[in-house]
Structure 1
């Protein structure tokens, strides 16, 4: 773990965890010789359960396996542990994207067999995000920077969680206890997209909707476990 991955309290940030999940996925593609045929991917949902906080300085170990799969969709579990008993459990729902059309594309039989030993979950489903129906939503602009976009012009998944971390800075009571962060993505946000954050606070949770002209493009929720 590096100093730039943590908060001022030395807690590993959620956006850093998201980057770790991307990195280990890329490393797996390279190790299996599948990088050319299986890139890019889109993270439709990321679930991060912080059971015991991981703090700097430490060395983290990531253990990765496939939980569910279809021919176009994977659910990958990654457990992160550190030298001092910190533990974070994650699950990411990845969709294979055709780099030409931008639409979901097929995963090769060889790669699926390597990940799942041939076991597919044809009933896997993903639900689009929604905005909480309430009158006390806070609204604020979410300005994007040139460095927020990836090589395909999409806003990187870790950028969304930077916004989540900014809200958690004032909700320290949530991160001091075991908590779950879930983020669901519906539409691609690009650099020229005007984004507003709609924020809903509760005693044991905070919700963030990434809103574009009244449409929820993504929604994140942090709640106590």
Structure 2
């Protein structure tokens, strides 16, 4: 589970979508730097736009993020014009990976890979991709079938020095599906790991289950070998876990001022 995530380049074939954005104040921090929840929104939005346009009005079910990987080389800053490009890098019977790059003429570059699962709206269970979606997205994907495997551990390791704290949820944290949005989880990671935007850094967020608006959410920040883990807990149930590990830098320090368990 400790191997780095390989971010593949566009293959030169198949569907490639490009959009132009500008870093706005709602996605930048007090230092004018694009936050990771802003990066997540860019990647989510272009993925949804791409699927919507490819479906051409057809019913392609729901698409849910199971995992997001963000590799930061250099983040853009407030008012930077950025190019956002996405393509399908892997495809299976019920899911696909969408690779996204966010870059600027000034040298900013962020790599994102989202593992998207198609879900039946009635049952909430994974559903097969339609032949239309496979035909559209498969040409740019790796030839081998995409399979799900965890990159992060399933349970906290009980490490000494782990810090647990409550996370009050707001109505604005919940999306139209009634769940706390993936981008909101990234904002929580940034909140509990100050200095996260020091680059270069690799950050992975995996979801084990939905977080509802009325859940009593807590996070457990746990030091690990060469990394920091952030566990999203409802009671003792893991709903998500994030791993942050700087490349060639020290691990971000644990926050102070909280109760150690």
2:96 aligns to what?
74
CA deviation string 1:70-119 (max 9, x = no partner): 12010110011012110001101000011111111111111111111286
Distance 1:32 1:85, change over 3 A: same
1:125 aligns to what?
148
2:178 aligns to what?
153
Q: Report the CA distance between 1:134 and its aligned residue.
A: 0.8
SS of corresponding position for 2:232: strand
| Contact 1:141–1:196 (CA under 8 A) maintained in structure 2 | yes
SS of corresponding position for 1:216: strand
107, 128, 134: which one aligns with 2:159 = 134
Whole-Å separation in 2 of the counterparts to 1:54 and 1:195: 31
Q: Report the CA distance between 1:167 and its aligned residue.
A: 2.0
1:37 aligns to what?
59
Say whether 1:198 aligns with 2:205.
no
Ranges of 4+ aligned residues in structure 1 off by more than 6 Å: none
Q: Report the CA distance between 1:29 and its aligned residue.
A: 2.1
SS of corresponding position for 2:191: helix
Query: Where does structure 2 lack aligned partners over 5 or more consecutive residues?
Result: 1-22, 248-261
2:78 aligns to what?
56
CA deviation string 1:138-192 (max 9, x = no partner): 11011111221111111111110110111232xx2x5222001100001111112
| Contact 2:89–2:142 (CA under 8 A) maintained in structure 1 | no
Q: Which moved more, 1:39-48 or 1:87-96?
A: 39-48
Residue pairs, 1:1-225, within 5 angstroms? 1-34=23-56, 36-117=58-139, 121-122=144-145, 124-127=147-150, 129-169=154-194, 172=195, 174-201=196-223, 205-225=227-247
SS of corresponding position for 2:242: strand
| Contact 1:129–1:185 (CA under 8 A) maintained in structure 2 | no
Q: Report the CA distance between 1:201 and its aligned residue.
A: 3.8
SS of corresponding position for 2:220: strand
Query: Where does structure 1 lack aligned partners over 5 or more consecutive residues?
Result: none
Distance 1:137 1:214, change over 3 A: same
Instruction: Note the aligned Cα RMSD (angstroms).
Output: 1.9
| Contact 2:76–2:104 (CA under 8 A) maintained in structure 1 | yes
The count of aligned residue pairs is: 222
| Contact 1:207–1:221 (CA under 8 A) maintained in structure 2 | yes
